[in-house]
């Protein structure tokens, strides 16, 4: 008996000529019997003639065609041409199984090979996209465990760890893992030691810094590491370790208001006034964080003012604290300190009192200073002007202190006056001041009125083009945008 055929490697499933799946003809435990083809063929002849080995025909997949051409003709027009055949076949099958598993589908061998080939044949970028789909399976966030694709990692990291033919695939998988895993420096990933940490998760950062995860989450979200609506688990919330290293190093050094005022010798009221006027700013505006202060900020302010101070003997009359001036004549603490810095007011230092509370200004100089204008002048200044807070509300800016911060930082003009009835300082804007604001800034409320577009349409367009609200000291203070940044987007929407 004679039978023609081709020698094929393990992994070939179908005869392309007949579209028939390859069938197992016999099984023998003893090699000497198994390899006696003549005897075995004689045994199966009746079944062959009876058609017992026949099966339903199948349509060859792109993977079947690729493998046949590479084996029979040495032809390969895919990216897999660059990879050794055994490694290519193995990784196609494993990648496909991982994809099917991530989709919670049955891991049929032929389906797995076809699916894996579809990605691997198109090269590193397609393979990376496939890995990303696997890693994002489940709750929509990245797996935090190295069991994200166990079959691939078992093959690349253990079974074939010393086989150089797998290096191409190993490099692609390793590179992707380092992009999404919070791997610690010194850890090994697929045979290579990681020299420095690239990513942190919220959980790993908490372990390293000793700071609670909720506190870290507040700081990192505010700094832009996570979106405000992030829902991933702590172990899966990853961020750039190098970019946020300074923040992580700083957070454990921050202190609460009691420690802050003690360090700089200020009362709690004085600290609150310094914060309210923006002379001192907490490291974070997240209300739930109880330790927001940098001691160095308070000490630098104290050093700056003490350097200009005149040393006063105990009990020297005619001088009062900065906070007392603020309360008596309704000048802001920021104005008083600015006048001290530019030499319009002298500052004294009471020898018997430590720190900021011991800094005083001369009562007579304050009362005669240009900082205090007659009531009539203030009344005149208020005529024909709009309260800045009312104007802010009219353009949709309702965040407390946001528009005032924009004025006080010099980004939009306004005049500060003392209200003749309430005796409280307030900012007012003339028609020219309002025009100057609109020449530089805009808000969604203003744009809705001007364009007739829906607010959500405008905000979605801003988000799509990466346009963010104007930031003051790195913090978006209100829904205020630079007009020059949004104008091109508005032109597109209106065209």
Higher pLDDT, 281 or 27: 281
Q: What is the mean pLDDT of residues 241-252?
A: 94
394 and 360, same domain (yes or no): no
Higher pLDDT, 383 or 49: 49
Residue 492 to residue 129: CA distance in whole angstroms: 32
132 and 208, same domain (yes or no): no
Count Cα atoms within 13 angstroms, Cβ side, for 287.
0
**Which domain-ending residue is among 173, 192, 211?**
192
**Which domain-ending residue is among 372, 396, 424?**
372
The total of structural domains in the chain comes to 4
Q: What is the mean pLDDT of residues 26-51?
A: 81
227 inside domain: yes
Q: Determine contact, residues 86/94, Cβ cutoff 8 Å.
A: no
307 inside domain: yes
321 and 353, same domain (yes or no): yes
- Report residue 435 as tokens: 């025009």
**Hunting for tokens 């005669």 — which residue is that?**
368
Q: Determine contact, residues 212/206, Cβ cutoff 8 Å.
A: yes
248 and 340, same domain (yes or no): no
pTM, to two decimals: 0.57
Q: What is the mean pLDDT of residues 261-279?
A: 95
Residues in a beta bridge with 428: 387, 415
Mean pLDDT score across all residues of the chain: 87
In the chain, what percentage of residues exceed pLDDT 70?
93
Q: Determine contact, residues 215/208, Cβ cutoff 8 Å.
A: no
Residue 123: band (very low, low, confident or very high) from pLDDT cuts 50, 70, 90: very high
362 and 322, same domain (yes or no): yes
pLDDT in tens, 85-121: 999 999 999 999 999 988 888 778 889 999 999 999 9
53 inside domain: no
208 inside domain: yes
247 and 282, same domain (yes or no): no
In three-state secondary structure terms, 15 is: strand
Give the least confident one: 3-12, 282-291, 377-386, 409-418.
377-386
Q: What pLDDT does residue 17 have?
A: 82
176 and 68, same domain (yes or no): yes
**Which domain-ending residue is among 347, 372, 397?**
372
25 inside domain: no
Q: Determine contact, residues 90/63, Cβ cutoff 8 Å.
A: no
Give residue 219's domain range: 199-253
Question: Angle at which helices 109-120 and 85-102 pack, to 10 degrees?
Answer: 110
Higher pLDDT, 278 or 373: 278
Report whether pLDDT(8) > 70.
no
Q: What pLDDT does residue 375 have?
A: 43
């Amino acid at each position: 008996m004679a039978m023609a055929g081709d020698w094929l490697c393990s992994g070939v499933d179908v005869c392309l000529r007949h579209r028939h799946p390859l069938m197992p003809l016999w099984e023998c435990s003893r090699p000497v019997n198994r390899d006696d083809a003549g005897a075995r063929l004689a045994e199966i002849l009746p079944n062959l003639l009876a058609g017992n080995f026949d099966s339903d025909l199948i349509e060859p997949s792109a993977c079947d065609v690729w493998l046949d051409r590479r084996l029979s003709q040495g032809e390969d027009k895919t990216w897999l041409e660059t990879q050794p055949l055994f490694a290519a076949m193995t990784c196609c099958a494993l990648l496909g199984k991982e994809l099917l598993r991530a989709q919670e589908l049955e891991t049929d061998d032929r389906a797995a090979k076809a699916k894996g080939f579809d990605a691997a044949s198109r090269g590193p970028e397609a393979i990376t996209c496939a890995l990303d789909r696997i890693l994002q399976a489940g709750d929509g966030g990245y797996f935090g465990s190295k069991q994200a694709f166990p079959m691939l990692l078992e093959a690349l990291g253990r079974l074939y760890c010393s086989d150089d033919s797998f290096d191409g695939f190993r490099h692609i998988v390793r590179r992707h893992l380092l992009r999404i895993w919070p791997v610690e420096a010194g850890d090994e990933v697929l045979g290579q030691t990681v020299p420095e940490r690239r990513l942190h998760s919220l959980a790993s950062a908490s372990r390293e810094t000793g700071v609670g995860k909720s506190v870290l989450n507040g700081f990192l979200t505010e700094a832009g590491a996570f979106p405000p609506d992030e829902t991933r688990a702590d172990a899966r919330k990853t961020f750039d370790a190098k970019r946020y290293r300074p923040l992580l190093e700083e957070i454990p050094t921050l202190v609460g208001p009691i420690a802050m005022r003690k360090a700089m010798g200020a009362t709690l009221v004085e600290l609150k006034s310094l914060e309210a006027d923006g002379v001192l700013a907490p490291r974070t505006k997240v209300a739930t964080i109880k330790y927001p202060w940098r001691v160095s900020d308070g000490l630098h302010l104290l050093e700056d003012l003490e350097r200009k101070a005149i040393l006063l003997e105990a009990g020297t009359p005619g001088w009062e604290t900065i906070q007392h001036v603020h309360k008596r004549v309704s000048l802001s603490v920021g104005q008083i300190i600015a006048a001290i810095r530019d030499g319009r007011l002298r500052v004294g230092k009471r020898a018997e009192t430590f720190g900021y509370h011991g800094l005083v200004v001369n009562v007579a100089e304050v009362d005669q200073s240009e900082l205090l204008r007659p009531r009539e002048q203030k009344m005149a200044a208020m005529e024909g002007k709009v309260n800045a807070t009312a104007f802010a509300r009219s353009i949709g800016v309702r965040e407390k202190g946001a528009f005032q911060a924009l004025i006080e930082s010099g980004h939009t003009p306004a005049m500060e006056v003392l209200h003749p009835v309430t005796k409280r300082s307030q900012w007012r804007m003339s028609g020219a001041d309002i025009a100057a604001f609109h020449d530089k800034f805009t808000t969604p409320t203003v744009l809705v009125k001007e364009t007739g577009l829906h607010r959500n349409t405008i905000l979605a367009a801003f988000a799509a083009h990466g346009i963010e609200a104007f930031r003051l000291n790195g913090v978006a203070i209100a829904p205020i945008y630079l007009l020059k940044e949004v104008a091109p987007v508005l032109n597109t929407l209106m065209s």
